[in-house]
Chain A
């Protein structure tokens, strides 16, 4: 692919708090569909996006049991984005900030996520055509 790009994303927000997290994943999805090489650095609360212990739950207000509710788990979205990228010929690298993981007890991540440091983010940014930072806003 002549116009194949490599993009880096730095995320900061935890899941289930605001629309920035899902917007970030939607942007990554577009890049995945295009077969771009994708680098993600999950900083602070965003390490929970790929947290393996997320569980679906029923929703009484919706009147649905756990299967019917089919609650969105961001760990599954992350895995799907990895698969989509691979299917389209791209490479996907997701690094969870190790210190951020430790202070949150969020060590269990879905397959394909690796532990790293800001030095990995630096390498990702240097290797990418551009970097989008989606930071937490007060």
Chain B
């Protein structure tokens, strides 16, 4: 069974989880033998932007020592053999055209989404 994980909500619990739950799940499902790909859309396209830095978070004496490294996490997906699609219009609307992104992403247009979904047995919208 081939599944597509759509990740649309950006920065959902990323400071507490130190990653994105949808990205983490995709990685873990792949490790468990699943045939899973990922589609980044909406605000989640920003996960692919290189150079993000969320270090330095501190609450009183409690300091976050392992902040989320979302671009690295996306790169981990591609290195694991997961195809990571990214919606081109969502990048453009956010002024991210020409911004350095993680290598190995597969751009897809909104008009191409229905055709893309047709390649999967199940589509999971997180």
Contact = CB atoms under 8 A, between A and B. Distances in A.
Interface of A: 10, 12, 43-44, 117-119, 121-122, 125-126, 130-131, 133, 135-138
A138 B43 CA distance: 10
A136 B25 contact: no
A138 B1 contact: no
Nearest to A121: B29
B30 to A, nearest CB: 10
Interface of B: 1, 3, 9-13, 21-22, 25, 28-29, 32-34, 43, 122, 124-126
A60 to B, nearest CB: 33
A43 B12 CA distance: 13
A138 B12 contact: yes
B32 A133 contact: no
24 contacts: A10-B124, A43-B21, A44-B13, A44-B21, A117-B28, A118-B29, A119-B28, A119-B32, A119-B33, A121-B29, A122-B32, A125-B1, A125-B3, A125-B124, A126-B1, A133-B124, A133-B125, A135-B125, A135-B126, A136-B13, A137-B9, A138-B9, A138-B10, A138-B43
Contact of A135 (B22, B29, B43): B22
Nearest to B26: A118
A138 B68 CA distance: 18
B44 to A, nearest CB: 10
Given A119-B28, A122-B32, A137-B9, 13 more contacts: A44-B13, A117-B32, A118-B28, A118-B29, A119-B32, A122-B33, A133-B125, A135-B126, A136-B12, A136-B13, A138-B10, A138-B12, A138-B43
A119 B122 CA distance: 16
B9 to A, nearest CB: 4
A12 B126 CA distance: 8
Contacts of A117: 28, 32
B122 A43 contact: no
